[in-house]
Chains A and B, each alone.
Chain A
Amino acid sequence: MSNVVIEAQHISKRYRLGPTGTGSIRQDVQRWWRGNADPFFRERTDPGTLWALKDIDFTMQRGDIWGIVGDNGAGKSTLLKIISRIIQPTTGRVRGRGTVGSLLEVGTGFHPELSGRENIFISGYLLGMNKARVKEKFDEIVAFSGIEQFIDTPVKRYSSGMYVRLAFSVAAHLEPDILIMDEVLAVGDTSFQKKCLDKMKELSGDGQRTILFVSHNMQAVHHLCKQAMWLQRGQMVTIGSATEVVNRYVGSLQQHKLRQQWDDPALAPGNEFVRIMSFELIPELVEGAVSIDVRTSLTVKFSIRNEVAGALLNAGLHLYNYAGECIFDVASPATACAGGLVQGECKIPAHFLNDGAYYFSLIIVRDTSIPVYYHEGGIHFEVADYRENTNWYGKWKGAVRPQFPFSFGSV
């Protein structure tokens, strides 16, 4: 007996752009008529096609946990829908062994007018549970959701949190051979996300269940999945171990502008007092990492040309996040500078910045009080997340993420 549970061969999905497919009979007849009468017309009016997926091949073994990463519109959801047999591929085929449960939304089949009890049954059946199983798990589902008192109340009266909890409880008690999840982690509060991830870990524990899951949460993919694939504009970029794929994907996402340099002072930004000649960020990547993450120490180097010999200058570095908040403002000591090149260097230790996107601005100040030149947004970079020894995968709070000495233990 082979251990392959899903085998996808050359899956492609083409969507027609424009009004084709749905519309009026008149349009269809017109299109048909002109298409037959004038072969050139067809080409001219065809608004084009979009390959949502192109030639995807993979096989999944029993017990595998796969993550699918990629930008919006990369074809991730389309792929999940094809594997779930909701839509058909344009070419190729997917074959599988065992039951498939797809969680493409929270609360599949829920009806607002019906009670929680009714909805548990409908949703359970829709997701592929049989009657015996829903009955057997009913109490567990209700207990897990924590809404016992409201089980006979129509779900339209639920708070959105209660609704999500009930919906997820149903989904969590599905036990298909192959579980397909789309971005379920993106909804709900962080404690719900945590519960969801824990449940996934639990489900995958016995090594019998195969899980395929799409997420934008790289931490979750990295920690839960063994394998991953990266889709971009419908094509497979890489497929392989989750760590490698996530690293490459995150690396490609970082819109680095780590270095600025001007050779000709006349073209360099600045004014009659100073010119910015170079401004750069040098990350010291930890071993094995391919991108800046929270463990990376960063060095900012810059050089300016001082046009006023003997001026008392100092430099300031402002770090902003993309919400426009200033994370810190550090200043160098002031020095009387000779005319010509002046260099500066500032080191930001590892384990200080939280994950996120940032930019540095450089300010030059004269006589410790008069701003001479403000060079804004010279360096852009992103800090990726990295975690060890934790089961927490939600967003890490705080503007910074320092590691202070912290002792903890029973006395």
Chain B
Amino acid sequence: MAVEAGTNEHWDWEANSTTKWVSLSFRSLWDYRHLLARLVRREFLINYQQTILGPLWVVLQPALTLLVYVLVFGKWMGVNTGTAPPVLFFLCGILLWGLCNDLFTGTAFIFTYYSYLYSKVYFPRLIIPFSIAGTHLARFAIQGVLLLAVFMYFGLFRQYSFGLNYWVLFLPVAILLTAAFALSLGLIFSILTARYRDLSNIVHLGIRLFMFVTPVIYPLSLVPDSIRWLVQINPLSSLFEVFRYALLGQGQFTTSGLWYSATCIVILFVFALAWFNKQAARLIDVV
């Protein structure tokens, strides 16, 4: 009888055998916001502990990549970057792609990497992928300073006239959409790699190949018409183009293309969150 009576009363929490697609509690995520912030901080501290250059690596990495890209793709292969100087063109691509790539590879293995936390203590499971997203967005913000510095150099010493325009205001949206895309794929792959270990071998290769159907090292205008559809169905393409258009005044995109990207990414993001929610509790038994 006591049980009977208890069922109608208020319970703070319940654990049962069902998993829901939608059980996302923003309240519980909010309660753990300090943990999220600490995890972001922790990531920075761990990465640069005992290194000589420390946080400088955040900008040194893309700077070195830039050097290689400018030499290989710009000088030797002669990728036509239009009116924009190759350095600026490649830097924009490298930074945005870096965000996408790091965020994806950072989240695609969370069940394996973080099982030591997941299997020992309860907290909203999404905190970990969100903290990884936070880490990479913060890194991206720091790298934005590098971008600004290079722009200033070109403006002051090379008399380069920028194609800056109102689309700059759209940049935060483009960046967030790119991050959401990478996070969604990361969440989906985190479930798949937990279930099928074989996949982990393909993930890194896959993301590298994916770079080639995204206008990172080439402008969309350079793609032959016959295979342009391949690049255009990629929701990231419009975002990369608009990113460069806003800063360099050079890029090919349409408003409908942007709507297409935004819709795809939002649907993917919602699906990824729901699937992650549904699978997370079960996967702890598997990893």
- For B285, list chain A residues within 8 Å (CB): 15, 21, 87
Q: Give the contacting residue for B282; candidates A7, A88, A91; CB below 8 A.
A: A88
In the assembled complex, the Cα of A389 lies from the Cα of B10 at a distance in Å of: 42
- What's the nearest-Cβ distance from chain A to residue B50, in Å? 8
Q: Is the CB of B35 within 8 A of A118?
A: no
Q: Which of B250-287 contact A (CB under 8 A)?
A: 281-282, 284-287
Measured CB to CB, the nearest residue on chain B to A105 is: B120
* Contact of B195 with A by CB under 8 A: yes
Q: How far apart are B131's CB and chain A's nearest CB, in angstroms?
A: 11
Please give the number of chain A residues whose Cβ is less than 8 angstroms from any Cβ of chain B in the complex.
50
Contact of A113 among B49, B117, B120, B122 (CB under 8 A): B49
B123: CB under 8 A from chain A?
Answer: yes
A96 touches B35 (CB 8 A): no
A24 lies within 8 A of B17 (CB): no
B160 is an interface residue with CB less than 8 A from chain A: no
Say whether A217 faces chain B, with CB atoms less than 8 Å apart.
no
The answer to whether A23 has its CB under 8 Å from any CB of chain B is: yes
> Do the beta carbons of A125 and B32 come within 8 Å of each other?
yes
Contact B197 A22 (CB under 8 A): yes
Q: Give the docked Cα–Cα distance between A118 and B271 (Å).
A: 35
- In the complex, whether B228 has a CB less than 8 A from a CB of chain A is no
Nearest CB in chain A to that of B35: its residue: A125
B35–A85 CB distance below 8 A: no
Interface pair A94/B6, CB less than 8 Å apart: no
Which of under 10, 10 to 19, 20 to 34, or 35 or more describes the interface residues of B? 35 or more
Q: Does the CB pair B121–A109 fall under 8 Å? A: yes
CA–CA, A98 and B45, complex, Å: 34
Contact B49 A84 (CB under 8 A): no
**Hey, which chain B residues are within 8 Å of A114, CB to CB?**
42, 45-46, 49
**Given A23-B196, A154-B49, A122-B42 contact (CB < 8 Å):** yes
Give the residues in chain B near A89, CB-CB below 8 Å. 15-17
> Counting CB contacts under 8 A, is B9 at the interface?
yes
Q: Which residues of A contact B13 (CB under 8 A)?
A: 85, 95-96, 100
Shortest A1–chain B CB gap in Å is 8
A sample of 7 cross-chain residue pairs with beta-carbon separation below 8 angstroms, ordered by A number, consists of A88-B16, A89-B17, A95-B13, A96-B12, A96-B13, A102-B121, A114-B45
Could you list 10 further interchain pairs (A-B, Cβ under 8 angstroms) beyond the known A21-B286, A81-B119? A2-B9, A4-B2, A9-B3, A23-B197, A28-B195, A104-B120, A111-B42, A118-B38, A122-B38, A125-B38
